[in-house]
Structure 1
Amino acid sequence: MDTISECGRGGAQDGRRDSRRSGLPTGGGPANTSLTLPAESVTALGRRVWDIVSGHLGGGHPGLPVASPGSAADAARLRVEPLPEAPVDDPLALVDEVGRLLREGNAHPDHPDFLAFVPAPGTVTGVLGSALAAGFAVPTGWRFTGRVSSAIESATVRWLAELLGLAPGTSGLFVSGGSAANLTALTAARDALVGTEARGATAYFSDQTHVSVPRALHVLGIGEERVRALPADVHRRIPLDGLARQVAQDRRDGLRPFLVVANAGTTATGDIDPLPELAAFCRDEGLWLHVDGAFGAPAALTERGRGPLEGLDQADSVSVDPHKWLFQPAGTGCVLLRDPARLTRAFGIGLPGYLDAGATGHDEGEVDYLQWGVEQTREFRALRLWLSLKVFGADAFRAAVERGLTMAEDIAAYIGSRPGLEVVTGPSLAVVTFRALPPAAAPDPSPEDADRTVDEVCRDLREEGRAMVVGVTVAGRRAFRLCVINPRVQRDGLRAVVDRVAELWTARTGCPDRPGAAR
């Protein structure tokens, strides 16, 4: 008799009977000191978990709120739950409860109407890759124990560099995300140009740069007094003239400029720094150019995106998050270096005897990834993207990225055509920002009132579960921000979100003549 089918019937008592029948641990028995389960029990639990996950991935969004705050009672209970000393009575019921909590207690970045931040619309292949890697406890730090996994990572890194149009020989490794990628690249830059003590080392970027960059510099011992966050120009890009003046002044003051960080798609507005000009400046000045492309670099997969990202291939290092615009599960980042030997110089160590004893039979091109970053025990993150590219093919990813660019253009045109709304920035790399306007006959709200209303409308939208939209500050004023990279976003659904924003704005401002007001 099928255990899963049986466990799906009846109440809690039936569930406990089925758990015993399948060999699952139940409360009251002896401690399971081996921490293993019979094969049929593993199958029963695995099927139940996959039923829940596949139900979510395979069309589980209709009717599902995009942002479910969950029950305050659930959260309070979970925070103070005591340590479980004995097995749960019904493991299958526990799995069902976890599924409910995840469904009802969190936002869903893979939902088509999750338009906030940079959503993470994962693929089923990425989920399967995560499960396979975890199930086999795959070692990836050292080729002696993970020769195949290291080979898959090397291939996937090479594919990613090729997709982005980076220089031949570019390589790197998978990390947990853009923050770790930036820290890894900046460590290599510091060691290469100013040494580990970094006396006088000074770094430059615009005030639109992600917070992970100044945080990484702090970790590296580059004090705030040597971190130059230059005010961006009117196009929200780093000012080249201002950068040149600041570098020259710092050198006159006895400091040691070593690093420029450029943006390939800011989180707020999707804007791109002038990469070719920055690359030329850095070459002339002997500076390291790092491009934070965590969000925007995958636009280079498309013909339309390669133009704005011209110069990406001239960077010394690039960070990219496949868990964003390459549709992998969260925790999939990558750092790429034009000269990957810089990673060994920054992170390489002499292996202790218990590791060095197995380091024989090294083939050309093999990498010990523990020598390229701070992690020795590493997740096999590369398998997620490797499996996805193998199953769907690179052309499918190019088309999915292209679709995001098209959807951004479409919604920007819709906003521009709709009375009472105006585009503020974009479309730029699938990001559009916009504002609601008062009617001609009504007085303008104060800037403070308008800014507050933007954030209130975003909160209203989130609380009703309709969509996730965030407010961002552009030129000192708040605006609504949409990021439409999810390949399952639909044009009509996206327009309906914009319409709802206008309706909520009208309700908040109390002006019945504004667009979207009820008649």
Structure 2
Amino acid sequence: MCTAADGPPHAVADPVELEALLDEPLPEDGSDLTGLLDHLAQDVLPLGIRFDHPRCFAFVPTTGNYPAVLADLLSTAHLSVPGAWLVGSGPTRVELTALNWLKELLGLPGHWGGLFVSGGSVANLTALAAARDHHLGGDLTGARLYCSTQAHPSIARAVHLLGLGRDQLIALDPDAGQRLDPRGLAARIDADLAAGLRPFAVVATVGTTSTGAVDPVTDLARLCRRYGLWLHVDGAHGAAFALSDRGHALRDALGRADSLTFDPHKWLFQPYETGCVLVRDPELLRATFRMSRHHLDTGYLHPAEARHDEVNLDDLGPQQSRGLRALKVWLSLKTFGAAAFRRAVDHGLHLSDHAAARITAHPDLDLASSPGLGILTFRCRPPGSPADPPAVDRLQQSVSDAVRATGQALLLTTRVHGRTVLRMCTINPATTTADIDAVLELVVRTGREAEQKPR
């Protein structure tokens, strides 16, 4: 049987080749479906990153799982829409149950609520829209939102889409651990208040994309309470740490936020298009997004308004027609049980610890950041390699390119403290310590070969 590990973790085609392969006139007549499926499976869909490959360490890899694939097939075949209760009461109840399970996994109080969305970007946008309306109403003058420079770019994109200027997002330099510093944040808030500005929200990140750093959520929550600000936690990747024994303390911290982004398509191993936004007070989502607030001059949607204890999830977010994303999570948890996902999270943590120990012990490798939620960064420094920072940076990129060219692994770079480093995300349950060891040896070998080439 063919598995993800049988092929390379990455394949790419030249744009001209792909245009010749796929750019064609609109077909007037049909073709054989079996042949078309074979064409896509063999010639098109493999061209990209194979995120479920055990030696794919790029970005935040995901494995998916077979019940989730079947859930997508089933919900699509039934045209399931968990929007209005009238349209999809069964799908809506599945989503509400899956949300309750996620809250339990993360240790959130039962009164929290929310909905499934496409991913972390829309989850951040949805939460911050509620924060904007709750704190600012319709007046955005002088508004200020705060995060660190390590926050995800979707925060800046959300600010833009919410009608705020780029100058209204204050991205502060992180501390030495790449975390948002509460003292520096408080000083900036005080200065902005003194200048007559209107701070309204803070974004804390649990699991930054570069290093997996965790902002001090509890301290930031205290600060936000003192100033009367909304605390949004972007835990797209790192909130899943709360499933593990090591991450149990995070559960209390997450519960102190006003809203939370969580991406099951990351560390809950779901297919893409499975994000989630959760809020302390679901009525604040409803105040921003409820359909009745946005009705125009037509009564077309009035018959679908919720009655009595019915729930219309399209009142809680920006989408009306919504796919049944929750069924993937529901069927996965029913099939495997929560304990399997807890073990998988622990496995990813164990792999990053193992990688860090190997890197620390190897004379050719330097750890750039400690393991953070299954993510670590390091440099390749072969004997005799140049010491000047630009040359070291170029070497890391050369090593990444050379590793990728072998077809054996995918290891990309990021920037930490202004320096180029190699980055490894180890959360794939199919990855073994042997995979880690083999890839690190490949890094060492390609690094030495790169240094032997004439400059």
Q: Shorter-chain TM-score: which interval?
A: over 0.9
Partner in structure 1 of residue 300 of structure 2: 354
- Classify the secondary structure of the residue corresponding to 1:259: strand
Partner in structure 2 of residue 322 of structure 1: 264
The verdict on how the C-alpha distance between 1:67 and 1:489 changes in structure 2, with shifts beyond 3 A counting, is: same
Does 214-223 or 448-457 show the bigger shift?
A: 448-457
2:27 to 59, 70, 84: 84
How far did residue 500 of structure 1 move?
A: 0.4
Higher relative contact order (Cα pairs below 8 Å, separated by 6+ residues): 2
2:284 to 336, 339, 342: 342
- The 8 Å contact of residues 420 and 436 in structure 1, kept in 2 or not, is answered as yes
What is the letter of the counterpart of residue 76 of structure 1? E
- The 8 Å contact of residues 200 and 230 in structure 2, kept in 1 or not, is answered as yes
- Classify the secondary structure of the residue corresponding to 1:262: strand
The verdict on how the C-alpha distance between 1:152 and 1:419 changes in structure 2, with shifts beyond 3 A counting, is: same
How far did residue 410 of structure 1 move?
A: 1.0
How far did residue 463 of structure 1 move?
A: 2.5
- Classify the secondary structure of the residue corresponding to 1:325: coil
Structure 1: segments with no counterpart, 5+ residues: 1-54, 513-519
2:18 to 31, 53, 75: 75
- Classify the secondary structure of the residue corresponding to 1:485: coil
1:150 to 79, 92, 96: 92
2:203 to 261, 264, 277: 261
Partner in structure 1 of residue 394 of structure 2: 452
- RMSD value, Cα: 1.7
Instruction: State how many pairs are aligned.
Output: 450
Does 2:321 correspond to 1:399? no
1:121 to 46, 58, 63: 63
Partner in structure 1 of residue 248 of structure 2: 306
How far did residue 76 of structure 1 move?
A: 2.1
How far apart, in 1, do the equivalents of 2:364 and 2:448 lie? 10
- Classify the secondary structure of the residue corresponding to 2:180: coil
Does 2:4 correspond to 1:61? yes
1:385 to 324, 329, 334: 329
- The 8 Å contact of residues 67 and 463 in structure 1, kept in 2 or not, is answered as no
- The 8 Å contact of residues 451 and 479 in structure 1, kept in 2 or not, is answered as yes
How far apart, in 2, do the equivalents of 1:403 and 1:498 lie? 18
How far apart, in 2, do the equivalents of 1:182 and 1:358 lie? 27
- Classify the secondary structure of the residue corresponding to 1:353: coil
The verdict on how the C-alpha distance between 1:428 and 1:107 changes in structure 2, with shifts beyond 3 A counting, is: same
How far apart, in 1, do the equivalents of 2:70 and 2:37 lie? 18
The verdict on how the C-alpha distance between 1:101 and 1:70 changes in structure 2, with shifts beyond 3 A counting, is: same
Partner in structure 1 of residue 175 of structure 2: 233
How far did residue 443 of structure 1 move?
A: 5.8
How far apart, in 2, do the equivalents of 1:74 and 1:443 lie? 38
Partner in structure 1 of residue 358 of structure 2: 414
- Classify the secondary structure of the residue corresponding to 2:291: coil
What is the letter of the counterpart of residue 402 of structure 1? D
Partner in structure 2 of residue 29 of structure 1: none
Structure 2: segments with no counterpart, 5+ residues: none
How far did residue 310 of structure 1 move?
A: 4.9
The verdict on how the C-alpha distance between 1:408 and 1:190 changes in structure 2, with shifts beyond 3 A counting, is: same
How far apart, in 1, do the equivalents of 2:45 and 2:443 lie? 25
Does 2:313 correspond to 1:369? yes
How far apart, in 2, do the equivalents of 1:154 and 1:184 lie? 18
Larger-Rg structure: 1
Q: How does 1:134-149 map to 2 (within 5 A)?
A: 134-149=76-91
How far did residue 73 of structure 1 move?
A: 5.8
Does 2:240 correspond to 1:294? no
How far apart, in 1, do the equivalents of 2:351 and 2:221 lie? 31
Partner in structure 2 of residue 244 of structure 1: 186
- Classify the secondary structure of the residue corresponding to 2:376: strand
How far did residue 308 of structure 1 move?
A: 5.3
Percent identity among equivalent residues? 41
- Classify the secondary structure of the residue corresponding to 1:83: coil
TM superposition outliers: structure 1 runs of 4+ over 4 Å = 71-74
How far did residue 97 of structure 1 move?
A: 0.7
Q: How does 1:17-28 map to 2 (within 5 A)?
A: none
Partner in structure 2 of residue 435 of structure 1: 379
How far apart, in 2, do the equivalents of 1:324 and 1:268 lie? 15
- The 8 Å contact of residues 382 and 451 in structure 2, kept in 1 or not, is answered as no
How far apart, in 2, do the equivalents of 1:495 and 1:359 lie? 57
Could you report, residue by residue, the CA deviation over 1:353-411 in whole angstroms, capped at 9, with x for unpaired residues?
33322446x353x3201111110001110000000000001111111111111111111
TM-score (normalised: structure 2): 0.95
- The 8 Å contact of residues 438 and 444 in structure 1, kept in 2 or not, is answered as no
Could you report, residue by residue, the CA deviation over 1:67-107 in whole angstroms, capped at 9, with x for unpaired residues?
0114656412145321111111x321111111102454221
- The 8 Å contact of residues 353 and 371 in structure 2, kept in 1 or not, is answered as yes
What is the letter of the counterpart of residue 30 of structure 2? P
- The 8 Å contact of residues 5 and 53 in structure 2, kept in 1 or not, is answered as no
- The 8 Å contact of residues 205 and 238 in structure 1, kept in 2 or not, is answered as yes
Does 458-467 or 407-416 show the bigger shift?
A: 458-467
TM-score (normalised: structure 1): 0.84
